[in-house]
Structure 1
Amino acid sequence: MTTSAKGLVIGAPRSGSGKTTVTLGLLRALNRRGLRAQGLKCGPDYIDPAFHTVASGRDSINLDAWSMTPEMVASLAAGTLQDTDVALCEASMGLFDGVPAPQGRSGASADVAAALGWPVLLVMDVSGQSQTAAAIVKGCATYDPRVRVAGVVINKVASPRHHLLVVNAIEALGIPVLGALPRQEAITLPERHLGLVQARETNDLDARLDAMADFVAAHVDLDRILAIAVPFAAAPAPTPVLPPPAQRIALAQDAAFSFFYPHLAREWHSAGAELIPFSPLNDEAPAPDSDLCWLPGGYPELHAGRLAAAQNFLNGLRRFAQAKPVHGECGGYMTLGTMLTDANGETHRMAGLLSVSTSFAKRKMNLGYREAETCAASPLGPKATRLRGHEFHYATITDPGNDTPFAMTRDVYGGAATPAGSQRGLVSGSFFHVIARAD
């Protein structure tokens, strides 16, 4: 598998430095130049790739160095970059932030940069500092010999004097400053409890992205940024991430069920599977000639009343489950349960295919990587199938019900495996989002 596309990773020393603004602005600005710019995202994140897709007009995917082997990361990236000129891979959190794991498998964005052989464009929030910014850049440039910081964009520059002090200090290290963004509060994207509001729900998104592109293009050197991007060092071999769970897959897709990883859709389609979308919010049932129904995560708690009233959807789902498998992740799992309590404390009756009840009124953040081993045969494989993925939710279980567990899961910090999710007959679900099979 070969591609002529060049790429780079857009990283930062910490979250909130401006990576997303720079990435989206560059994608849209390069797209307007006529270049085929492709977005990618490090780590488990459903929301940023959707914004990449709108900014560039090309589907973005996630590359996760904990759930995926380096070979999987490189194979997925190469498969995404066909007919592409340049790829911008947005990092998550700080460049080296990950979990305890062998080098290359910590989930840090630096691991993705190393797997792809791509340089890093470092975005630095320099508010409240001047020459000290160079010390942080030097630390990032020397911390991991696998990673090369090829340039810097400084953000939140307060004045010409501030600009001079910061740029002179960084460039004395031999690392070029390729852009300087002044303080700008007007260009923002709305946020929600799991991060940004989804792209499909953001008002005037194209206008916001155009404003980001104008802002970034006015303050960074697009040509020099393109010049630091490099192609793959070698052609990655195709490496499957997760086999399709069925031939024809009815996939819930709307504002309540949108957290489905694009790399799975791409891989399953490439393997010959067919994804058949339907909208529970529009009271649509899964296509009865499908082989499997998949309910992804999303925001069912924001639409619980509408889902409870969607009798065609609920009755169609119940009929489907009598003969064919149904699997739900996170929000989909909540929908398969008996009751869902929304943030206002109002209780809504769900599908009742699993005996669990959940609540968004009683909130507790659950966040982190998980390794799962299934307790019985399921759409994801035979009993004892090992999977890697994550949890990210605020909902809590108010009544676990009496179903058997879907899987035994453990975190990455040495804790004991604990039961997770529910399985009853052909129906299964949990808060666990699968990313890849465990190697």
Structure 2
Amino acid sequence: MLEAHSLPPGLMIGAPGSGSGKTTVTLGLLRAFRDEGLGVQPFKNGPDYIDPAFHRVAAGRPSFNLDGWAMSPALLAGLAAEAAGADLALAEGSMGLYDGTSAPGVTGRGAAAEIAARFGWPVVLVLDAAGQAQSAAATALGFARHPDAPPFAGVILNNIASARHEVMIRREMERLGLPVLGALPRRRDLALPERHLGLVQAGEHPDLEGAILRFAALLRDHADLAAIRAAARSTTTTAPGPLPGPPAQRIALASDAAFSFTYPHLLEGWRRAGAEILPFSPLADEAPPEADLVWLPGGYPELHAGRLATAARFRAGLRRHAETGPVHGECGGYMVLGEALVDAAGVRHSMTGLLGLVTSFERRRLHLGYRCAELLAPVPGHAAGARLRGHEFHYSSILAQPDEPLARVTNAEGETVPETGSRRGTVTGSFFHLIAPEPAA
């Protein structure tokens, strides 16, 4: 029998759907509890790079993704164990509480409700009450009484228009036996800026610290922090498994506003296994440092295509490394490894030309969803034939992809997708964002 490990009390911040206010509430609670002297460990359900960076600033601790579609029970337990020593764990859900794939993955469909149930974390449901009154209680009741419902802590109402509006909803919630843990007034001035892949990145926010302080004040003034903390529940989990290992010993990692989509659990796993991560900035025209591998993560190269096209030291250094050593790119990094990138205005920018890929943002088309990649050739850290779990999220279209395919890629339903990635010599790349290797059967 696997040994059980205790976790600190935890909560899942969920909602009926995106745009309900989960991130505002999560950031406000993280900072408000931190200001009370508590150690708060943040988590994010599902494939998301941007929210964990906001969590880290609010909590002062790295935030880790928990993904039931892509991660094994051992890896999920290993990541949940990162809360050891904290006073409280707070996880932010993705989309709606029960939203996930139609086909199960490694341990589930990827829904936040599944993660909450796995770790025994009661759900704080954030309800956008704009345009409704008593009907908000009917929505909450459905979420609380769903046959797959995890423990239910209560509701935080958002976008309350007036005192009368709040009373109408509270009375109906009370009649239905649903605790109200807070009622946040309508505050359009608190919205976080967004762009086409979600929120503007934490490092680009003009006043992130100030915004988080305002979120914390909002929660202190309009939510019952003591009741929220009291609703958290302790639980146990099976023996933690190791985090994914590194693809090389010395890794030159592109890291700036154009290359920022790296999962905290992967970087932490690389470091714990003794790998040395050497960040460099292509936007600052820095050549990759001497390393065993150059890794170009995803990000927003389309917003900086002109600068990347003229970054002579970066391009020359990357080509030199590729003559003898491996280079790998994910999504945005894959685009930069290609021949050219056409921006939203239709301007063609020359990229590094290590692969023949040509991509375009002139006619945006969303590519979004979980992916399983069966490698047709090795990539750093994984042999040919390995099966990897991850996701795809971009708006670019492929105009040319002439190189040998890197992988056979399918979506969550097992259907083949055309984004196979490419390989040429020592260079590999794919739109596929790695989350974790698929566990052996």
* TM-score interval for Structure 1 and Structure 2 normalised by the shorter chain: over 0.9
Stretch moving more, 367-376 or 263-272: 263-272
Alignment of 1:211-226 (within 5 A): 211-226=214-229
Query: Which residue does the alignment assign to 2:259?
Result: 257
Read off the aligned partner of 2:168 and give its amino acid letter.
L
Partner Cα distance (1:197, 1:133) in 2? 30
Structure 2: unaligned runs, 5 residues or longer = none
Residue identity opposite 2:369 in structure 1: G
Could you tell me which residue of structure 2 aligns to residue 68 of structure 1?
71
Please tell me whether the aligned partners of residues 74 and 242 of structure 2 are also in contact (alpha carbons under 8 angstroms): no
Aligned to 1:97: 99
Please name the residue that 1:411 is paired with: 411
Tell me which residue corresponds to 2:421.
Answer: 421
Q: How does 1:289-304 map to 2 (within 5 A)?
A: 290-304=291-305
Q: Which residue identity lines up with residue 345 of structure 1 in the other structure?
A: G
Q: Within 5 Å, give how 1:63-142 maps onto structure 2.
A: 63-78=66-81, 80-102=82-104, 104-142=107-145
Contact 1:45 1:62 in 2 (8 A): yes
Q: Which residue of 1 aligns with 2:28?
A: 25
Tell me whether 1:230 sits opposite 2:242 in the alignment: no
Q: How does 1:226-375 map to 2 (within 5 A)?
A: 226-231=229-234, 233-288=235-290, 290-375=291-376
Distance 2:158 2:378 in 1: 51
In structure 1, C-alpha distance between the alignment counterparts of 2:86 and 2:422, rounded to whole Å = 42
Judging changes above 3 Å, is the alpha-carbon distance between structure 1 residues 241 and 176 closer, same or farther for their aligned structure 2 residues? Answer: same
Q: Assess if the C-alpha contact under 8 Å between 1:68 and 1:241 holds in 2.
A: no
SS in 2 for 1:186: helix
How far apart in 1 are the matches of 2:128 and 2:297? 35
Give SS of 2:236's match: coil
- C-alpha contact 2:250 2:278 (8 A) present in aligned 1: yes
- Paired amino acid for 2:246: P
4+ runs deviating over 6 angstroms: none
TM-score (norm 1): 0.96
Kindly state the Cα deviation for residue 171 of structure 1 after the two structures are TM-superposed. Answer: 2.5
Once residues 215 and 149 of structure 2 are traced to their aligned partners in structure 1, the CA distance between those partners, rounded to angstroms, is 31
Cα distance between partner residues in 1 of 2:73 and 2:63: 18
Q: Secondary structure at the match of 2:429?
A: strand
Quote the offset at 1:255 in angstroms.
Answer: 0.3
C-alpha RMSD of matched pairs (Å)? 1.6
Question: 2-side partners of 1:151 and 1:70: how far apart?
Answer: 27
Question: 1:14: how far off?
Answer: 1.2
Instruction: Describe the shift of the 1:397–1:99 C-alpha distance in structure 2 as closer, same or farther (beyond 3 A).
Output: same
Instruction: Give, in angstroms, the shift of residue 111 of structure 1.
Output: 1.2
Counterpart code for 1:243: G
* Correspondence for 1:205: 208
CA distance in 1, matches of 2:286, 2:118: 42
Q: Do 2:243 and 2:268's aligned partners in 1 also have CA atoms closer than 8 Å? A: no
Match for residue 167 of structure 1?
A: 170
Q: How does 1:168-207 map to 2 (within 5 A)?
A: 168-207=171-210
Per-residue deviation at 1:72?
2.0
Cα distance in 2 for residues equivalent to 1:200 and 1:316:
26
Residue 2 of structure 1 and its aligned partner are, at CA, apart by: 4.6
1:154-174 deviation digits (Å, cap 9, x = unpaired):
111122222122112222333
Q: Contact (CA 8 Å) 1:127, 1:156: kept in 2 or not? A: yes
Distance 1:268 1:143 in 2: 39
Q: Which deviates more, 334-343 or 161-170? A: 161-170
| Unmatched segments (≥5 aa) in structure 1 | none
> Following the alignment from structure 2 to structure 1, what is the Cα–Cα distance between the partners of residues 17 and 356?
41
In 2, distance between residues paired with 1:118 and 1:303? 41
Write the letter of the residue equivalent to 2:269.
E
**Is contact 1:39–1:53 with CA below 8 Å preserved after alignment?**
yes
- Taking a change above 3 Å as real, the CA distance of residues 102 and 297 of structure 1, as seen in their structure-2 partners, is closer
Paired position in structure 1 for 2:156? 153
Give the Å deviation of 1:12: 0.6
Counterpart CA distance in 1 for 2:9 and 2:270 is: 26
Q: How many percent of aligned residue pairs carry the same amino acid?
A: 55
Q: Deviations over 1:56-110 (max 9, x none)?
A: 12111111111112332222121x2133211210001100001123495101111
Whole-Å separation in 1 of the counterparts to 2:400 and 2:148 = 50
Q: Residue type matched to 2:217 in 1? A: D
- Distance in 1 between residues matched to 2:363 and 2:252, nearest whole Å: 31
Residue of 40, 44, 47 corresponding to 1:44: 47
Show the counterpart of 1:390.
391
User: 1:145–1:302: structure 2 CA closer, same or farther, 3 Å change rule?
Assistant: closer
Whole-angstrom CA distance in 1 between matches of 2:147 and 2:257:
40
Q: Contact between 1:370 and 1:388, CA under 8 Å: does it hold in 2?
A: yes
